[in-house]
Amino acid sequence: MSNRPLLVFDFDGVIVDGMEEYWWSACLACLRLSAADGMRHQVPNRVPDGFRQLRPWIHHGWEMVLMASLLQERDGLLQRIGVDAFVAAYSEHCRQALEARDWSPQQLQEALEHVRHSAMAEDRSTWLNRHRPFAGVPQRLRSLASEGVDWAVLTTKGRAFTAELLDAFDLQPALLFGHEAGSKPDVLQRLIAEQSLCGFVEDRLATLETVLATPGLRSLPCFLAEWGYLRPSDRQALPQGVQLLALTQFAAPLADWT
Ligand SMILES: [Mg+2]
């Protein structure tokens, strides 16, 4: 492990915009899960507005599969109550929707990862092309080395898919942790015990709040990536310890971020 300070980055919504792929793979995972019931759905090409609106609440990959199912359901819960009411009790509504379908998070996650593995094996370039790095972000990550800083990726995505994408963008983080490594606060706790961390950049405010409430991580500089999948209210009244990071600021030297 290097002695250089480490800056840790979330992946989806911070380094890469994979909205097209999230929708496509979540729909295919739904198809896979529904095939047993004899149900057939088309995968709509266009990402529905509802999916984009729901994305900021999504924490784990399996939730995308559930959202794709809810969005394609006729006269279902989401259609009846709308996105705003759904996200007002997001966890409870997810629980109800899983129960109604007799699905488990693990089953959904496996279906999603199966779709991604198949897509990578069958047509890697088409799968990769459903993702876009955010403008200027890869260049900025590469330039961190000149400031004496190493960078790492910490994501709830599978490690193998993240590694493929990083490779396609010609990005080589010092460390890479997928969901297999444990929760983000747990991984950060292990890292901070071993080396100096100069910050965590993430686009999910709830994750930053959990990190700051974790013993040993209270003083970790936390940055909310403004260019990512933010909820409409996230920019207002940020909790103490969380700083909003705009792309222009991200492009500036690290010493000027705070
Ligand atoms: Mg994210």
pLDDT tens profile 91-108: 999 999 999 999 999 999
Give the whole-angstrom CA distance, residue 112 versus residue 125.
18
Ligand 1 center to 5 CA (angstroms): 22
pTM assigned to the model: 0.93
Domain spans of the chain, in order of start: 6-17+132-256, 19-128
**Distance from residue 72's CA to the centre of ligand 1 (Å):** 24
Q: pLDDT at position 63, please?
A: 98
pLDDT for res 258: 78
> Which residues make beta-bridge pairs with 151?
7
* Predicted local confidence at residue 198, as pLDDT: 94
How high does pLDDT run on average in the chain? Answer: 94
CB-count exposure of residue 195 (10 Å: 0-12, 13-18, 19+) = middle
3-class DSSP assignment, residue 170? coil
Separation of CA 225 and ligand 1 centre (Å): 9
CA of 194 to the centre of ligand 1 (A): 25
pLDDT over 70 at 37, yes or no: no
Using the predicted structure, report yes or no on whether residue 169 has a pLDDT greater than 60: yes
- In angstroms, what is the span from residue 122 Cα to ligand 1's centroid? 27
**pLDDT value, residue 237:** 83
Is the pLDDT at 247 greater than 50? The verdict is yes
Q: Cβ distance 149 to 7 under 8 Å?
A: yes
CB 187 within 8 A of CB 181: yes
Q: How far is the CA of 120 from the centre of ligand 1 (A)?
A: 22
Range in 53-57, 83-87, 112-116, 234-238 the model is least confident about: 234-238
Give 59 Cα–ligand 1 centroid separation in angstroms. 8
pLDDT band with cut points at 50, 70 and 90 for residue 35: confident
What's the 1 CA to ligand 1 centre distance in angstroms? 25
Provide the sign of the torsion angle of the four alpha carbons 200, 206, 212, 213, taken in this order: negative
Rounded distance between C-alpha atoms, residue 25 and residue 111, angstroms = 9
Question: Which stretch of DSSP H or E encloses residue 250?
Answer: helix 247-251
Residues 43-53 have a mean pLDDT of: 90
The domain covering 6-17+132-256 belongs, at the CATH homologous superfamily level, to HAD superfamily/HAD-like (3.40.50.1000)
For residue 155, report the distance from its CA to the centre of ligand 1, in Å. 7
pLDDT grade, residue 41 (50/70/90)? Answer: low
Question: Ligand 1 mean position to 98 CA, how many Å?
Answer: 23
Cα–Cα distances (Å) from 74 to 41, 80, 148, in that order, read: 12, 9, 54
pLDDT of residue 38: 47
What pLDDT shows up at residue 42? 64
Which token pair is 55?
A: 């994305």
